[in-house]
Amino acid sequence: MPNTTKGRVLIPRNAEDLLKLAQKLVDKHQADGAKSELNNLDEEKYDWEKLAPTIPTCLALHNKAEKLKAEMEQVYRQRDALLLPIDFHVKGSSAYLKGKYSTNPKKLGEWGFSIDDTPKATKKKA
């Protein structure tokens, strides 16, 4: 008696791959027409004819989101390049002003800094 495997069906978790698989299912279902095995599914729960037109729309939205994601990453890189010297200046100014007003650090509030003068909580030993 030959050994048979139960096999595992691999369903993509990636949205794009899932949409491509769904489109292949629709293509095969439509090509088979009335003889399609998918016609045996419960029609109230599984309506491939109704679902089919939504797949290209969903894929187009996915592709748009990916394009915007790439654009967003590029904009973040541009922002970060400008942010480094700003961060440097803010920290340096803070250090200078904190030294200048060491006896009254709340004066830094006049410059827009938030000052927390509450005592640090002590760490509890286990």
Answer whether residue 57 is part of any domain.
Answer: yes
pLDDT at 1 over 90: no
Q: Which residue has the higher pLDDT, 54 or 126?
A: 54
Answer whether residue 39 is part of any domain.
Answer: yes
Could you give the number of structural domains in the chain? 1
pTM of the full structure: 0.65
Answer whether residue 71 is part of any domain.
Answer: yes
Answer whether residue 60 is part of any domain.
Answer: yes
Answer whether residue 84 is part of any domain.
Answer: yes
* Pick from 49-58, 72-81, 104-113, 116-125: least confident: 116-125
Domain span holding position 86: 15-111
Answer whether residue 120 is part of any domain.
Answer: no
Q: What is the mean pLDDT of residues 57-82?
A: 97
Answer whether residue 3 is part of any domain.
Answer: no
Alpha carbon 37 to its chain's center: 36
